[in-house]
Structure 1
Amino acid sequence: MYFGIADMYKIGIGPSSSHTFGPMVAAGRFIDELKRLDLLSAVKEIRVELHGSLSLTGKGHLTDYAVILGLSGYNPESVPVDEIESIVSKAKESKKIEYNDLSFKFKIEFIDEKLPLHENGIVFTAFSGSKELLNKVYYSVGGGFVKSQEEFEKPAIEDRHVPYEFKNADDLLKLCSDKRISELLIENEIAVHGSIDNLKRYVLKVWNTMRDTVERGMNREGYLPKPTAVKRRAKRLYSFLKDSDKLNQEIAMIKMNWVNLFAISTAEENAAGGRVVTAPTNGSCGVVPAVLLYYDKFIKKLTDDDLVHFFVISSAIGSLFKMNASIAGAEVGCQGEIGVASSMAAAGLTELFNASNEHILIAAEIAMEHHLGLTCDPVNGQVQIPCIERNAIAAVTAINSTAMALVRDPANAKVSLDEVIEAMKLTGKDMDPKYRETSCGGLAVVVL
């Protein structure tokens, strides 16, 4: 299965790709299935069961909001962010979903017991009176990806054809014996998008959305949603950094604090339910834009071609983790979100320095190696503590991973990217479930 830029970088809303983005997509798919079967007009009620991690941290991640929006016909990319609260409040007050000219009751239940195939399970059942019209099970598997039970049990035959197929980093390196990895990946992406111009348009759409998110985050004050209600800090940091001559001594590490600012402003917008780009998830959405803006501000102004090269490389690294391990915090802990984001950003940044294929993969390996075992323990099930600062830490780690990779002799590298991906997968599977996005362990139980 080929996962490209449009899979790793999807425009949507916060606060979570697996708990908000995915459930909204699943709800929309259920409505589409009702329409396909010509059943929607007969629906009088839809009952929704949120299982496992979607129950345990669903309220903090606004999973019920996402389901209501999806059943109402909205999708993550185009839902009017400023109207979400009024749309959901109206539905909850009336206990009805308004879909075009149709109206039906709904009921959402939170059930901690997980379904058999994944930690993030959703059951939708549509009724006409007491008659059951349709029952479907979906799983939100991380990064906004959704699989039905049927797709889990009998995977579809791959219908997306690209010139170069690869299953792991070693395959990718072998394919590139006489070319740069980015050249090969651009050919794949042209096959997916139809032309280089379409590819550039998508990349610029993603990049402009990231920059808009940073800009909003740097200029907003107040508190993030309750009950955690962390006070926004990006604007205060921005006010210090804008005038470097007047910086206080304690924040004198200028470049590092700009990276912190870019990451924190993005992560705060995500926590507030704003418009963000999965990279590869919502919880890690601040890492890539922070690293790119660091390069743009302190190394060299980014060109359109630079952006294409960065995004094809970073998305390929993300796809390797998705294919061979996971990018879902509920499945492998935060190493699958923040760790993968740092690995993606490190590889993309190394590409911008025109380093060798081997150095790009080394940078990706270094970044992940030092995120192994990272737990997912959000306080109150919200992406505020420790998630916001974690984006900044991971962005700085990505930059340092590139710095180390650029002076590394590839012949002496002891750990390959494929090996660290396998280690991440095994570590995640061995991790106690309470440390995998359930808010039942770690910071989530000691921070009051």
Structure 2
Amino acid sequence: MTAYVSAFDLFSIGIGPSSSHTVGPLRAARAFADGLAAKTDLMDRVTRVTCTLYGSLGATGIGHGTPDAIVAGLAGLDAETCRPEEVRGAWSGLAEGATLLLAGRHEIPLARNDIAFEPRTRLPGHPNALTLRAWGTAPDGITDALPLLEETYYSIGGGFIRRDGEEAALAARATHPLPYDSSEELLRLCDEHGIPICEVARRNEAALHGEAATRERLDLIWSAMAECVAKGLAGDGTLPGGLGVRRRAAALRAHLEAADRIPARDTSIEWLHAFALAVNEENASGGRVVTAPTNGAAGIIPAVAHYYLRFVPEASAEGIRQYLLTATAIGSLFKANASISGAEGGCQAEVGSACAMAAGALCAVLGGTPRQVENAAEIAMEHHLGLTCDPVGGLVQIPCIERNAIASSTAVSAARLALHGDGSHLVSLDAVIETMRQTGLDMSTKYKETSEGGLAVNVIEC
């Protein structure tokens, strides 16, 4: 087996505010509806579809728009191509007597209570679990007490889903010309072939998709990231959800544009913060965003990439491709050997992973050797160990938005610190990833995206 996950999967284009609570459930509901549509005799007998959200999905699903995503997926919408406004209000705005066109072809009644919340029930497969059931009539026309079809899905982070009973989708070693399971193996490949980390990823992607398609898709991913930053920098007003959080990226952009007219004023870190705020404010508003590797941490990788383009004189479009490929190679290790799910590992699994990916990727495009790149990723992750996931009100706003800005700064600092060394260090990236995994297992569930502890309860009390 190999740890490698394609950039096309690790960086998926979707909608906010959460990859595990919005994008994943939408994809699960779409898969369920598609399964029904593939069985015409079954689809025609469906009179009702219900969904039960367990664990973290049940605890913070409303704040993350999970029920809306479920309805959108059942209607046949796709996370990458749907318009965000098609998803917003799909469940929360349901009127009496509403109907749903299941998979875009079979009309059934739909009510808000068709989606149930069971936050205290945790299924063994993953903290983010949901069960979909299709109800209807038996072939003899009698209404059956049992569902026609029942499937349980796990939203395992970053928009990835797994149906209960299926093994985790890890590609076989034969699929990739340069497979690896650890950072130690990754560095060995670089040594044996005399290539940088981004080239390991590029060769694996080319084997999967071809050279031209790899280049085109990387450019599409970056275009979506850049568009999200631009939209966020122009956004204004208050974020949805009831906390009254005002968007700040546009005001910060205006302030920095004025400050940049002052000679010798260094605004690079402030711009870095603005880029990250822009993405995560856009995500919190339910807009179009690229999971990187999750939505809750989606601002870090594009922010550091914008920093590279704006403040590094030799920056280029090819550098951005190398940046994304390096980040993919590093992110694959986190997904395979620990977690990128806040519900499973706390925010260390989301923001920590993204910070490590961005740090290593920036180090690479600044000329770092593979060992310096691995060191940069290790430094970044090491200083996020134990970070809890405690969103106030179950919304991806406080502390998530600012946390992305600060982690972007950490990524730049880690990259630059690593560049001043020769890549040798006592704690390996593999050791830090394993430590993160163990820490996530030990962490109380109230600090893992359930909004039952930390800031989520103390801010309300204040």
Which residue of the partner structure matches residue 419 of structure 2? Answer: 406
Trace 1:293-308 onto structure 2 (pairs within 5 A).
293-300=306-313, 302-308=315-321
Is the 1:4–1:312 Cα contact (8 Å) retained in structure 2?
Answer: no
What amino acid does structure 1 have at the position aligned with 2:128?
A: N
Which residue of the partner structure matches residue 81 of structure 1? Answer: 84
Which residue of the partner structure matches residue 257 of structure 2? Answer: 242
Question: How has the CA–CA distance of structure 1 residues 133 and 324 changed in structure 2, closer, same or farther, with 3 Å as cutoff?
Answer: same
Which residue of the partner structure matches residue 123 of structure 1? Answer: 131
Q: CA deviation at 1:227?
A: 2.0
Q: Tell me the SS of whatever aligns to 1:439.
A: coil
Q: Tell me the SS of whatever aligns to 1:44.
A: strand
Question: How has the CA–CA distance of structure 1 residues 355 and 146 changed in structure 2, closer, same or farther, with 3 Å as cutoff?
Answer: same
Which residue of the partner structure matches residue 67 of structure 1? Answer: 70
**How far apart, in 2, do the equivalents of 1:181 and 1:93 lie?**
56
Which moved further from structure 2: 61-70 or 171-180? 171-180
Q: CA deviation at 1:97?
A: 1.4
Give CA-to-partner distance per residue, 1:298-333, whole Å, 9 cap, x none. 113642321221111101111100000000000000
2:106 paired with 1:102: yes
Which residue of the partner structure matches residue 163 of structure 1? Answer: 177
Is the 2:339–2:345 Cα contact (8 Å) retained in structure 1?
Answer: yes
2:64 paired with 1:49: no
Question: How has the CA–CA distance of structure 1 residues 51 and 197 changed in structure 2, closer, same or farther, with 3 Å as cutoff?
Answer: same
Which residue of the partner structure matches residue 373 of structure 2? Answer: 360
Which residue of the partner structure matches residue 138 of structure 1? Answer: 153
Percent of residue pairs bearing the same amino acid type: 43
Question: How has the CA–CA distance of structure 1 residues 319 and 121 changed in structure 2, closer, same or farther, with 3 Å as cutoff?
Answer: same
Which moved further from structure 2: 322-331 or 296-305? 296-305
Which residue of the partner structure matches residue 187 of structure 2? Answer: 173
Is the 1:9–1:206 Cα contact (8 Å) retained in structure 2?
Answer: yes
Structure 2: gaps of 5 or more residues: 138-142
Which residue of the partner structure matches residue 227 of structure 1? Answer: 242
Which residue of the partner structure matches residue 198 of structure 2? Answer: 182
Which moved further from structure 2: 236-245 or 418-427? 236-245
Question: How has the CA–CA distance of structure 1 residues 201 and 379 changed in structure 2, closer, same or farther, with 3 Å as cutoff?
Answer: same
Is the 2:389–2:447 Cα contact (8 Å) retained in structure 1?
Answer: yes
Give CA-to-partner distance per residue, 1:1-31, whole Å, 9 cap, x none. 4302012100000000000000000001101
Give CA-to-partner distance per residue, 1:344-372, whole Å, 9 cap, x none. 00011011012111000000000000000
Which residue of the partner structure matches residue 338 of structure 1? Answer: 351
- The number of residues matched between the two structures is 441
- Supply the RMSD in Å over aligned alpha carbons: 1.8
Q: CA deviation at 1:168?
A: 0.7
**How far apart, in 2, do the equivalents of 1:160 and 1:237 lie?**
49
Is the 1:91–1:98 Cα contact (8 Å) retained in structure 2?
Answer: no
Q: Tell me the SS of whatever aligns to 2:301.
A: helix
Is the 1:68–1:91 Cα contact (8 Å) retained in structure 2?
Answer: no
TM-score relative to the length of structure 2: 0.92
Question: How has the CA–CA distance of structure 1 residues 270 and 301 changed in structure 2, closer, same or farther, with 3 Å as cutoff?
Answer: farther
**How far apart, in 1, do the equivalents of 2:67 and 2:359 lie?**
35
Q: CA deviation at 1:88?
A: 4.3
**How far apart, in 2, do the equivalents of 1:234 and 1:390 lie?**
14
Q: Pick from 103, 107, 118 the counterpart of residue 111 of structure 1.
A: 118
Question: How has the CA–CA distance of structure 1 residues 60 and 409 changed in structure 2, closer, same or farther, with 3 Å as cutoff?
Answer: same
What amino acid does structure 2 have at the position aligned with 1:14?
A: G
Question: How has the CA–CA distance of structure 1 residues 318 and 49 changed in structure 2, closer, same or farther, with 3 Å as cutoff?
Answer: same
What amino acid does structure 1 have at the position aligned with 2:250?
A: K
Q: Pick from 401, 409, 421 the counterpart of residue 396 of structure 1.
A: 409
Which moved further from structure 2: 357-366 or 179-188? 179-188
2:456 paired with 1:444: yes
